[in-house]
Amino acid sequence: MKILVCVKQSVSGELNPFDACAYEAALRIKTAEDEVILLSMAPKKSEEMLLSLTRLGAAKAYLLNDKAFAGADTLATAYTLSLAVNMIKPELIICGRQTIDGDTAQTGPSLSVVAGYNLITGVMGITDVNGKIVCNTRSGEVTKEYPALITVERFCTLRFPSIRSKIGEVITLGAKELGADVSRCGMNGSPTKVLKTFENQEGRRKCTFITPEQLDDAIIAAKEKGRARLAPKEQSDKKLSEVWIVGEKPRDMALSVAERVRVIEPDTPKKIAELIKAEAPEVVLWASDAYSKATAPQVASILRTGLCADCTALETDGESLFMYRPAFSGNIIAKIACVTRPQMATVRTVDTEGNDMIVAVGMGAVNSLDKVKGFAEKHGAELGASRAAVDAEIMPYEKQIGLTGKSVSPAVYVAVGISGAVHHVEGMKRSGTIIAINKDKDAPVFDYADYGIVADINDIL
Ligand SMILES: Cc1cc2nc3c(=O)[nH]c(=O)nc-3n(C[C@H](O)[C@H](O)[C@H](O)COP(=O)(O)OP(=O)(O)OC[C@H]3O[C@@H](n4cnc5c(N)ncnc54)[C@H](O)[C@@H]3O)c2cc1C
């Protein structure tokens, strides 16, 4: 079997962590008859990283590099990658769930449509590859026929090369070698355009410092206050006459830019694409749940239209839709427009499922884990974790909150021994009330908390 792994070097130079897991997953299922091949559409400088990755077991790597590929959004990226897929003809493609720079989680599902592969998203483990592929996913066991494309969560860690490992080759392919239609590549082929970017101040809160004795009362009050409403901030003077929403969740966001909303029931990508083709709405908005994140990019690929991921605000001049989304770990907000129709976006919605209180364990709580667990139990709270706590193997990855974990929005979020790195804040800033406990009064987490307790965990809880 040929297994193709799509990989990307992040802006900081490291292999995108989700792709590292995709590669390790491929190496684990590889038998002596199988061949693992790496594929990356990237600048020339990624050649070095690809070469060193071949030492782990991939026979070769393809680097898609051409001026015509620059500035691609997910639709143009999926098209370009699909040309290499058509050439290589793997039975199985493994992609990371998302890149940590772009953070859209769209490329895998889009590529599955353009290349004609069966799709499984949110994979937490591969249980069988004989005849069919069977995966454990966030929503249970899923089986698909080959050819199949799976997108993986971070469920395993990439191995190190051994001293005797052999280096493979990197084959660079440009638009000509791929036979690409350059009008569908790079900036030319990208329906979404970034209009401007600016610094993100979102998520910052005014912290009131309290004593450990006031903690229980603060929690009770926060539970009563409930979950945050992600009320869309920018209300436009002018409105679009009608916006379609898939499911009820994007209603609030839609009403910030539209006179009327029409609700479309969640269905298969094919059926929704047919309906959109037949009735040609101007705007279609999706939620940010697992169904929408997997389905919206497939519909966008079928319709060859743009899809902006994870919008936190919308605006309109009465004709076009302007979409705001965090980029690069949430440090920057980008204003995006879509030049094709329909204009589509997944919008961040408050998830009303799950426990209404989360107690998140950070590195500072490593030595007081039992205490923190007891505290969570007393308040009927679910546990969460920072990536450092997961990497230290004191908490499982499913509990990781943040950019490379999950996003949560309980009524009460208690961060225990967490420093407050932007990567972590990205996953918890939509909580109703945030309470931080840290022994360092200058810890950044207090900038994102409503209440703070400066104390050693060992002395309180
Ligand atoms: C690309 C990328 C993606 C990432 N994705 C994520 C992600 O999804 N989620 C995530 O969480 N991180 C993520 N990170 C990592 C992130 O940058 C931080 O390194 C991580 O969040 C730190 O975890 P922490 O706060 O638990 O640990 P630390 O930063 O080590 O902080 C520990 C804190 O505990 C406090 N403390 C120590 N002892 C005590 C005590 N006894 N009592 C009270 N306080 C104490 C310290 O003052 C400190 O503030 C990512 C990083 C990168 C580069």
Which of 77, 55, 50 has its CA nearest to residue 66? 77
Check whether residue 136 and residue 265 sit in a common domain.
Answer: no
Q: Does residue 78 form part of some domain?
A: yes
Confirm if 272 and 299 have CB atoms less than 8 A apart.
Answer: yes
Judgement on whether residues 385 and 243 belong to the same structural domain of the protein: no
Q: Which two tokens stand for residue 230?
A: 């992600």
Q: Are residues 361 and 212 in the same domain?
A: yes
Distance 197 CA to ligand 1 centre (A): 27
Domain end position, chosen among 285, 312, 347: 347
User: Which atom in ligand 1 lies closest to the alpha carbon of residue 361?
Assistant: 26
State whether 92 and 237 are in the same domain.
no
Residue 194 lies in a domain: no
Give the pair of three-digit tokens for residue 6: 């799509």
Which contacts qualify for 162-167: CB closer than 8 Å, 24 or more apart? 165/55, 165/56, 165/57, 166/55, 167/51, 167/52, 167/54, 167/55
- Test site for ligand 1: of 423, 445, 459, 461, most ligand atoms within 8 A of the Cβ: 423
In a domain, 197, yes or no: no
114 CA to middle of ligand 1, Å? Answer: 39
Measured between alpha carbons, how far is 126 from 314 in angstroms, rounded to an integer? 38
For 373, the 3-state DSSP assignment is: helix
Mean pLDDT by 10 residues, the chain (461 residues): 97 92 97 97 97 96 98 96 98 94 89 98 96 92 98 93 90 98 97 91 89 96 82 72 96 94 97 98 94 96 96 92 83 91 88 82 95 96 95 89 85 97 88 96 96 95 80
Rounded Cα distance, 399 and 378, in Å: 19
**Domain range for 24:** 2-184
Contacts of 228 (CB under 8 A, 6+ apart): 350, 409, 430, 431, 432
- Residue 342 three-state SS: coil
Q: For the domain that residue 60 is a member of, what is the CATH number?
A: 3.40.50.620
Write the residue with the smallest CA distance to atom 38 of ligand 1.
364
Count structural domains, the chain: 3
Based on the fold, state whether residues 104 and 160 are members of the same structural domain.
Answer: yes
Q: What confidence tens digit (pLDDT) does each residue in 245-270 have?
A: 999 999 999 999 999 999 999 999 99
Task: Answer with the one of 280, 315, 347 that is the final residue of a domain.
Answer: 347
Q: Which residues line ligand 1 (CB under 6 A)?
A: 100, 362-364, 386-389, 400, 402-405, 417-419, 421, 423-424, 427, 438-440, 443, 456-458
Same domain, 221 and 244: no
For residues 333 and 272, state if they share a domain.
yes
Q: Across all residues in the chain, what is the average pLDDT?
A: 93
Q: Which of 8, 422, 424 to mutate to test the pocket of ligand 1 (most atoms within 8 A of CB)?
A: 424
* Co-location of 410 and 309 in the same domain: no
Domain identity same for 222 and 261 = no
User: Which is the closest atom of ligand 1 to the Cα of 402?
Assistant: 8
> Domain boundary residue among 289, 320, 347?
347
Cα 399 from chain centre = 15
* Coil, helix or strand at residue 182: helix
Judge whether 195 lies within some domain.
no
- 98 CB-near residues (< 8 Å, 6+ apart): 18, 104, 105
